[in-house]
A and B are shown apart, each in its own frame.
Chain A
Amino acid sequence: MLTLLDFQERALNGPVIKERDFDLRFSRKVRQLVADFEIVFDREKIIPDPAMADAVFKAGVTLLVENGIFHMETGRLIELSKDEVAEVIVTRGKEVTLGEGEDAFVLRARRPEDRFAPVTVMGPGCEVTEELFDPIVRSFAQEETAQGIMHPSVKTIGGTRNAAGQPAEVLHCVTPIKWVRRIAREVGKPGAWHGPVAGITPAAMLTGFSPEGYTKHNCHLPVHIWPELKLGWDRFVLAAYAREHGIVPWVSYVPLIGAYCRNAAEASITIIAAILGELAYSDGHCGSAAPRSIKGGNSSNRQSLQGYAASGLAIERNLPIAWGGNMTGPLAGPCTEMVLYEIAAMTMVQLAIGCEWLWGTAGRVGAVSLYASGMEGRMFGELARGAAGIHGEEANAVILALLDKYEDKLANGTAPPGKPFHECYDVEHVTPTREYLDIYARAQRNLRELGVTYGN
């Protein structure tokens, strides 16, 4: 069984390679594997056949074994053998419980046809202000389908802006988790799970652990590999801490389509390689991914949806971990029909592949402060319950119809920006405006017309 010290040893003694050469080698290798494994995605088929998903998985294993992972600080390749990866595949993953008490949930295996809903966890996936932290988080937390409550980063706390590696980062790691736990208590979900620990440097992140802050039950520690297939010591340190303290590691990957990965096929393979790499050094039980387009950063476009579907189905069929959908990448903003359709398309993909959990979300790809609200969480929360068990072909038809509604706006840069939280919610009462409720109702109607069973 591989240990973290094995990884350390390899990071210090593996073959030396220049980063640029690694990037080029990666790009060539992933391209070659798409050809070798005959991975071809049909434009009209977002949900792939199981055989295609299995080919993606095998190609991903080969990518990890033949390409390795680049250690950015030592400038060396971390290499894994085929046998070591095979061992990871059969030894990682089991049911995992997140949260505490009555608010705990168990991530357990689902098959695409299972009618029980995947777990849905939500919170604003964008930066927020200190003044609006409470209502914006509360708007998600109070949703009936919010089984966990994630918290956002805060622009300034007491006037201090977050800054990686400085004392300000500690302030920003220890404070929002206390605020979100108070909100969780107030909405009757005191044992809720709160997602990955905030922050970027391990020292600051670990200061967030306290009886009033992060605990081993209410968070994950992020150990993810960076795109494309690169990491540094800090991820190993976090993985080591997670192991020592029984904290579930946050296994995740976000490949960029249009950069070193040219298309959905290459992104899917890369997701498999990265997730297996992360599982190898982190004893992980669950994970998620979101292929994003380099043009606009969204994950609701056709290629990203194909990447979600192929990598997700590949993992569901070949790895016993709980797999989840990262819903943070719609391009339109809150209070628009488009953002709801983008979220619906992403949700349909996840339901069709049989994912175990969904988390998110924010409008405008999470890049603009305050462009998130509980209504976007409501969309995937309700869809997950109403449409769980949808057949792949049926889901495919719905996704294509949804793409028809917004795909041109992604391509030509006309996605509506929508409104920030305080313009689409009554901030005092934390209720959506009439305008947003009407938009939501219209989106629901249109989804029903597409044949989607919808609701709680």
Chain B
Amino acid sequence: MEIAAEIAEAIEALEEEAAVTLIRKALADGADPQALLAGGVEAGVRSVGQKFQDGDYFIAELMLGGDLAQQCVAILQPEIAKMSGAVRASKGRIVLGTVRGDVHNIGKDLVGLLLGVSGYEIHDLGVNVPTLDFVKKAEEVQADVLALSSLMTITMPAQGEAIKYLRDLGTRGKYKVIVGGAPTTQQWADEIGADGWARTAADAVPLVDRLMARV
């Protein structure tokens, strides 16, 4: 088996030591770090995401997979920079959080993990996040996407407030805004002027991919 495939397999199996050792060995043997990143780390992370969607892995495995991928990228990135002078670009920056008044975190965590392992840079603001904090962070990190979670009908209006605030501020066009959470619907997303709605955490990844393709 080629080394990239072995790295992918180690990441899929969440074998931290094996993955890191394999990467170091491959680099020492002169392997192309770009190929290790694409065929090893990214392929392994995709497998972890697939296993989650198939019900074989759970959120803890996603967290472990994400951490492991970050470790691997941290080893590869300086080598890639040496070769090409460039660093690995993320697919986009996402500011994520559960809106004010709502302390449910699990769905939001899942969205962050799945988008993270799919190559996006995640800025997770946590739960009970005031609208102004979303806006401030989005400006600070020059976000591409704002992802607003709400698990209760009583906190859903805060999703609409954030979109309206961006509109009134004149910065609505700078960001794609997506919403989600158990009581939300496509109809609600349309009503408040969101760019997208995802029924499940897994649906958020293709949604963001589609929105980013339009940027």
Contacts and interface: CB of A to CB of B under 8 A. Distances in A.
Interface of A: 19-20, 23-24, 27-28, 31, 72, 127, 153, 155, 161-165, 169, 172, 199-201, 226-228, 230, 232, 256, 258-260, 262, 294-295, 297, 365, 367
A269 to B, nearest CB: 15
Contacts of B109: 23, 259
Interface in B18-50: none
State the 6 A-B residue pairs at the shortest beta-carbon distance, nearest first. Answer: A164-B101, A27-B60, A163-B157, A262-B58, A259-B59, A162-B154
Contacts of B154: 153, 162-164, 169, 172, 199-200
B58 A258 contact: yes
A23 B200 CA distance: 20
Nearest to A204: B154
Nearest to A365: B182
Nearest to A198: B154
Interface in B160-189: 182-183
Contacts of A23: 59-60, 63, 109
B148 to A, nearest CB: 14
Contacts of B102: 164, 200
A165 B103 CA distance: 13
Given A24-B64, A259-B58, A259-B59, A228 B106 contact: yes
A428 B144 CA distance: 50
B103 A226 contact: yes
B10 interface: no
A200 to B, nearest CB: 5
A13 B104 CA distance: 24
Contact of A164 (B107, B152, B183): B152
B103 A260 contact: no
B60 A163 contact: no
B142 to A, nearest CB: 24
Nearest to B102: A164
B181 to A, nearest CB: 9
Given A230-B105, A259-B59, 19 more contacts: A23-B59, A23-B60, A24-B60, A27-B60, A72-B103, A161-B157, A163-B101, A169-B154, A172-B154, A226-B103, A226-B104, A226-B105, A227-B104, A232-B128, A258-B55, A258-B58, A262-B58, A365-B182, A367-B182
B208 interface: no
B106 A227 contact: yes
Contacts, number: 86
Given A72-B127, A201-B101, A294 B60 contact: no
B106 A162 contact: no
A259 B110 contact: yes
A24 B58 CA distance: 11
15 contacts: A23-B63, A27-B59, A72-B126, A162-B157, A163-B101, A164-B100, A172-B154, A200-B101, A200-B155, A227-B104, A258-B59, A259-B58, A259-B110, A262-B60, A365-B182
A440 B100 CA distance: 42
B158 interface: yes
Nearest to B59: A259
Contacts of A295: 55, 200
Contact of A155 (B107, B153, B155): B153
Interface residues of B, number: 28
Given A24-B60, A27-B60, A259 B183 contact: no
B6 to A, nearest CB: 26
B106 A127 contact: no
A262 B61 CA distance: 10
Contacts of B59: 23, 27, 258-260
A232 B55 contact: no
B149 to A, nearest CB: 14
A66 B171 CA distance: 48
Most buried by A among B100, B101, B110, B200: B101
Contacts of A161: 157
B155 A164 contact: yes
Contacts of A200: 101-102, 152, 154-155
Interface string B45-74: 000000000010011100110000000000
B60 A232 contact: no
Contacts of B153: 127, 153, 155, 162
Contacts of B158: 163-164
Contacts of A256: 106
Contacts of A163: 101, 154-155, 157-158
Contact of A24 (B63, B103, B105): B63
A48 to B, nearest CB: 22
A74 to B, nearest CB: 13
A260 B63 CA distance: 10
Contacts of B157: 161-163
Contacts of A226: 103-105
Interface in B91-108: 100-107
A208 to B, nearest CB: 14
Nearest to A152: B153
